[in-house]
Amino acid sequence: MPDSMIHDETTEDILGSETTERFLTFMSDGLIFGVSTENVIEIITNYMIRPLPMVPDYIRGIINLRGQVLPVMDIRLRMNKPFREYTSTTCIIILEINSTLIGIVVDSVLQVQDIDIAGASPIPIENRQELTNAMISLDDGTVVLLLDCDAVLRI
Amino acid sequence: MDNMTDSLLETYLFETNSLLEQLDELLINAEKAGEFTSDDVNEIFRSMHTIKGSSAMLEFQPLMEVAHHIEDLFFFIRENGTSSLTEEQKSELFNLMFKSTDRLRADVEKVENNEPLSMNIDSFVNEINSFLNELRAKDSDDAAAAPSETAQTGSIAEPPQNLPDMDAPFIVHVFFEEDCGMENLRSFMLITALKDAGLEFSFIPEDVETNSDTSEIIAEQGFYLAFKSDKEAESAVKILNTTSNIRSYEVIERPCSSQKEEAPVKEQKVSSDEGTAAPAPAAKQPTAAGHAKQSLISVNLSKLDQLMAIVGEIVITESMVTASPELQNVKLDSFLKSARQLRKLTDDLQDIAMSLRMVSVSGVFQKMNRIVRDMKKTLNKDVRLTIVGEDTEVDKTIVDSIGDPIMHIVRNAMDHGIEEDVQDRIAAGKPPQGEIKLSARHTGSEVIITVEDDGQGMDTDAILAKAARNGILVKPEEEYSRKEILSLLMLPGFSTNQEVTEYSGRGVGLDVVKKNVEAIGGTVTITSEKGQGSCTTLKIPLTLAIVDGMEISIGKNVFTIPIANIRQSFKAEQKDIILDAAGHEMIKCMDEFFPIVRIHNLFNMTEGYSDIEDGILIWVEASDKSYCMFVDQLLGEQQVVVKPLPSYLNNFNIKHSGISGCTILGDGNISIILDVASVYTAAQEMF
């Protein structure tokens, strides 16, 4: 993919620790999620989404990304959260999961940061969040839920 | 490394498949003529050699073995000619060859599907070998009688399987490539090259330098070089390997030159020059086959698809640029001029890109030759297949998907169409030989393929009776028209033949044909006159990638309906609408009632008109379904590039909801393409 907004300019730096990975963090319904930059193709805003009939409501429709037609999923609705009108901070993150391209709608995108996944712990069963497989608390005290990309594609 | 093997495998599959296809065609033609010409024999020999070599390289043992034994067989035939064969042996040879190509093809298919190859080839190899032995046995009988003759004549015109009278223990027998011409000069050049290398030898024919007639003799029987020692022969072989235009050579070792009646120990070798490794001779092979092949290259289909996608993008972007709203109401003479030129160029580009994907249907049609041939034997019917318009070109994806439907129809025609008994034909005043005519032709945006037979035709009463038995009639029997009865044949559940023949009637019938053809946007119709024969017509769009569409809107959403499906569009008034017993809306046009499908209801859309007088009705038709769609507005006609929906969406069964794909409009927005037939099915399921 060309003109990806996330360039691994500091790839060398993160090789220090074997368990360190780069994550893109984003907000959805007040929670911070992290998705591995390996899966992220690009971030787009202000796209015209063409709604599709006869699909679950979390499939918002399809978009035309420079000639490629991609499905777009609202991550809030996918996790059974209430729908929020799209604003100027709303972004679509284009993910490539097992060579399938899909866009996910998130409330806002935060940053790209290196996270040592050795510190990840499973999520307590009573607080289970759909589509996530681990949580991590960072040095500054924020808690990041790691997105389970395979689960995103599961029906 | 894996990539390397993959591309090797791809090349191998392509090469082997095309060789087998050529072989099939050659065999059919040869069988018609009842004889293998020497060109045919050489061609088969070469093909088998190539298959053997490349199979061995990729370690497909069974393929290699089978090809090897056929090669042996044809080596023998090449040396001895087919004229000595009896009629039975010839037909046995043809059958054996057809069986072998089938066998090879099945194996290649397995390779293609990544299935393990069956190692159990002994019985098959034995079959080939026993046939070869039979030929050999016969030949040695002949040969026993032959030597006395050859001894008398003692000339160079002796049969090639006997070695010429050369007083040397090592003989190298060289064959030049066919049609390379001037064999005598080539031999002379070879002699010079060998002499330059300091070798001592004698050769036959001896007068190559001066006598140009020798060229024919060499072409037929090869050129013999005789060496005193094996070392000299070896170094000569090295030189031969580097010489061009040499098809094959063999080194023949004679323990004692005086015992020439004894079968010589042959060490057969074929120059590495020919076959797998070197691309040049391989490229030459198709020309030798006598096909009118031009300079072709093979391109991966996915690359063509990419090209098509980009060209589609360019066409869309071009209209985005030229119709840009910022440019409206601005007078730009030179811009408009260049824009017009750009449009012309993009149109040309699109035409060329489309034509790249077009291939002729001859491949599919030629396969039918084989089917007719096989069925002719098993069913014992005398039928000839006439092919018309095999050069007609259609999109590659369509060619791939019409093979099976056509095969099915041809089989039906062979099995049920043509009369069982020749006497019946003669009694009906028809020639004893049945005819199946397979033709293809273009009409504008469609290609029409017909399969006609001059057989007994279809018995409408019998069809109706059978349909009634199977319970697929939807109205009283006497109300069925002839056309309707024939279309019953294509309903699922009609062909539930109890009697399963090898070729047709295995419970899947014309409904499958119809489904396959409809999947590529085509239609099937059957016409038949009792006693005169039947005709099945397939109408197929030339390409799937670009469709003439009508843009319609419902609320803010744009949909595209293929123009081919639209019969009429009109405004309706509330009083025209009639409700049926179940409360479904219907409307009368042209004295017939058609159901109305409201798209915004079907798709649960919040927008869109609900008053029938605000919107517009479009009367659409797809194969046997005819109904009216209710939409907000017609936006206009446009050629659109069809794009498939993302495969992820297939999880939601979207194909069955009436959506066949999408397309990108000039303004970058997406329009959804409706599939007229499945919209109706989806609507019926909903209500």
Query: What's the pLDDT score for residue B254?
Result: 64
Cα(A115)–Cα(B672) distance, integer angstroms = 42
Banded pLDDT at A73 (limits 50, 70, 90): very high
All residues of chain A having their beta carbon less than 8 Å from the beta carbon of residue B653 are 54
Pairing of strands A31-36, A143-147: parallel
What's the pLDDT tens digit per position in B347-362? 888 778 877 877 888 8
What's the pLDDT tens digit per position in B238-273? 777 766 667 777 777 665 444 444 444 444 444 444
Q: Is B471 on the interface with A (CB under 8 A)?
A: no
Banded pLDDT at A93 (limits 50, 70, 90): very high
CA separation, residue B236 to residues A24, B188, B265, B267, B363 (Å): 70, 14, 19, 15, 44
The whole-number average pLDDT for the span B386-414 is: 84
The whole-number average pLDDT for the span A43-66 is: 86
Residue B286 predicted with pLDDT over 60: no
ipTM of model: 0.79
CA separation, residue B190 to residues B157, B167, B235, B357 (Å): 22, 20, 13, 46
Give the whole-number percent of chain A exceeding pLDDT 70. 86
What's the pLDDT tens digit per position in A11-34? 444 445 577 888 999 998 888 999
Residue A57 predicted with pLDDT over 50: yes
Query: What's the pLDDT score for residue B524?
Result: 85
Give the whole-number percent of chain A exceeding pLDDT 90. 23
All residues of chain A having their beta carbon less than 8 Å from the beta carbon of residue B652 are 54-56, 59, 155
What's the pLDDT tens digit per position in B151-189? 333 333 334 445 555 666 777 777 776 666 666 667 777
- Torsion, CA B670, CA B675, CA B676, CA B680, rounded to 10: -110
Which of A19-33, B214-228, B294-308 is predicted with the least confidence, judged by mean pLDDT? B214-228
CB atoms A64 and B659 under 8 Å:
no
Query: What's the pLDDT score for residue A103?
Result: 93
Query: What's the pLDDT score for residue B182?
Result: 66
The whole-number average pLDDT for the span A71-100 is: 88
Answer yes or no: pTM beyond 0.80.
Answer: no
Pairing of strands B383-388, B434-443: parallel
The string over B347-364, giving b where at least 16 C-beta atoms fall within 10 Å of a residue's C-beta and e elsewhere, is: eebbeebbeebebebbeb
What's the pLDDT tens digit per position in B1-53? 455 567 777 778 888 888 888 888 888 888 877 777 778 888 888 888 888 88
CB atoms B312 and A155 under 8 Å:
no
- The CATH code that applies to domain A11-153 is 2.40.50.180
Q: Which residue has the higher pLDDT, B499 or B484?
A: B484
CB atoms A50 and B662 under 8 Å:
yes
All residues of chain B having their beta carbon less than 8 Å from the beta carbon of residue A55 are 649, 652, 654
Per-residue three-class SS string for B261-296? CCCCEEEEECCCCCCCCCHHHHHHHHHHCCCCCCCC
Query: What's the pLDDT score for residue B179?
Result: 62
Q: Please enumerate in sequence order all residues whose Cβ is within 8 A of that of B681, keeping only pairs 6 or more positions apart, or say none.
A: B656, B658
